[in-house]
Amino acid sequence: MFSSLTQPFSQIQRIHCVNISFHFIMRISFFLFVFINSSIFAQFGPGGVGNVSNNGLWLRADALTTYANNALVNEWTDFSGNANHGANAIIAEQPNFIQSSPINGRAALYFDGALDQLLVADDPILDNSAGFSFYSVVRPDNLNNAPRGIIGKRITQNTAVEYAYTFFLWSNGELYLDIHTQNNRFNSNPVSYVNNTNYMAGFTFDGSLAFNQRSKIYEAGNLIAVSDETSTSLPNSSQDLCIGGLNRDYLSGGNQTRLGGHFAELVQYNFTLNEAQRIIVENYLGAKYNITIANDLFNFEATHAGEVAGIGRIDVNNFHNDAQGSALVRINTPSNLNNGEFLIWGTMNYPFLKIMWWT
C-alpha cells in the first residue's frame, strides 16, 4: 500500500521517513477498514492547513451530495465548520450544480454570468484581520473587458466605508485586487486570463510587512503581482461576501454584471499562510483539479488525488507540522522534519487514506 516518489525542487530535498513506526502504520491500516465516513474528522482545513478558528470559508462543490446534476443550488455548504454557507433564495440568481465539470471532471457550480450570485452572511472571520489568504478554483467563460468578480465584500464601488476587498477579472483579462477600499488597486499585468481555462487564482494580504510587500496575487502558486498597500488591516465590514460579483447586485454601466463559468472550490483564511502552508494547500488543490502548480511535490494525481494533505518545513519560520485535512489520518509533531522536507499523502478518492512518503 506504500509508494515512494522523488521530486526535484531547488529548495526541497527528498524527504526521509518522519519517524513513523511500522506499528503506527499497521494501526492506520486497521482503521482504514473501519471508518468510511471521513466528514466527522474534518477538524482541519484544506490540505490539513487551518482549523475552525482561522479557516473562515471552505466551499467545495464535491461536498454537495444532495443535488442532482444541473439542479439549481440555493445553498453551497461551508466545510470549514463556521457555517459560512453561500446562499441565495432567489431562483433566477442560483447557479447550477454540475456533477462532472470541465475542471478535471470534478463537481462545480456553474454561474450564468448574468444574474447568478451566492451570498455569504457577514462573519468577523471573513475580514477584520491583519492577514488574509484566499484561493479559488474557477473556469471563466464570459470575460469581455467588463469587471467580473470572483468574490467581493463591500457596499458598492462608490462607497469607501465597509469596503473590505474585491477580487475580480477586468480589462484585458487581467486579475485585479482591492484591499480596504480601491485606493491601492492593482492587477496581474502582464499575466492575463482567458475564457474556458482552469485557474487557481488567489491572493494574500499581510499588514505586518513593509507597505510595498503587503498585497500579492498568485496563480497556481506562482507569484504574479505584488503591490503597495497603505492599510495594515482589513476593516470589520458588515457586508455579505458575494460570490460571482464584486458586491451584491453589482452594476456596471447600469447593467447587472457577474462572472460566468464554473466555480469548483473557494478557500479563505483570516491569516497569511506561510510558505510551507501555501505549498501544501496548493498541492491539495493542484492534485484534485489537475492544475499545474509552481511547487508540485505530489506525483500521484492520477491515482490518489483525493483528500490530499501534508506537513512540511521550508525553514524555522516557515513550517507546518500538524495536518489531517478532511480524511482519516492525522500526522503531527514529527521528531525529524528538516528544512526542505515535506510529507504529503492522499486517497484514491475514497474516504479512507493511502499514505505515501519520499525516500
**pLDDT tens across 279-322, in order?**
999 999 999 999 999 999 999 999 999 999 999 999 999 999 99
One domain for residues 105 and 160: yes
In this structure, the dihedral spanned by the alpha carbons of residues 245, 208, 130 and 193, taken in order and rounded to 10 degrees, is: 10
Give bridge partners of residue 60 from the DSSP assignment: 265
- Residue 87 in this model has a pLDDT that exceeds 70: yes
Q: Which residue, chain included where needed, has cell 466605508?
A: 161
Task: Among 219, 252, 269, identify where a domain stops.
Answer: 269
Q: Percentage of residues in the chain with pLDDT exceeding 90? A: 79
Report field, pTM of the whole predicted structure over 0.85: yes
Does residue 359 register a pLDDT over 80?
no
Task: Determine the pLDDT at residue 350.
Answer: 53
| 64-86 per-position pLDDT tens digit | 999 999 999 999 999 999 999 99
Tell me the CA distances in angstroms from 137 to 59, 243, 357, one per residue in order. Answer: 10, 12, 27
Strand partners, 119: 87, 242
Model pLDDT, residue 349: 75
pLDDT of residue 247 exceeding 80, the answer is yes
| 1 belongs to a structural domain | no
Q: Are residues 55 and 40 both part of a single domain? A: no
In-domain check, residue 84: yes
What kind and span of H or E run contains 286?
helix 275-289
Which residues form the domain of 340? Answer: 22-45+296-347
147 shares a domain with 35: no
Q: How far is CA 21 from CA 28, 33, 150, 233, in A?
A: 11, 20, 45, 44
CA distance 266 to 263: 8
Q: Are residues 133 and 33 in the same domain?
A: no
Please indicate, yes or no, whether residues 96 and 217 belong to a single structural domain of this protein: yes
Predicted pLDDT at 26: 25
Quote the number of domains for the chain: 2
- Residue 217 inside a domain? The answer is yes
**Claim to verify: residue 83 and residue 213 sit in the same structural domain:** yes
CA distances 129 to 171, 179, 206, Å, are 29, 12, 9
Domain match, 257 and 309 both? no
Say yes or no: 229 and 311 in one domain: no
Q: What is the pLDDT of residues 177-235, one digit of tens each?
A: 999 999 999 999 999 999 999 999 999 999 999 999 999 999 999 999 999 999 999 99
Identify which of 85, 62, 100 has the alpha carbon closest to the alpha carbon of residue 285. 62
Alpha carbon of 207 to those of 66, 77, 229: distances in Å? 40, 30, 8
Domain presence at residue 358: no
Q: Is residue 281 part of a domain?
A: no
Q: Mean of the per-residue pLDDT values for the chain?
A: 87
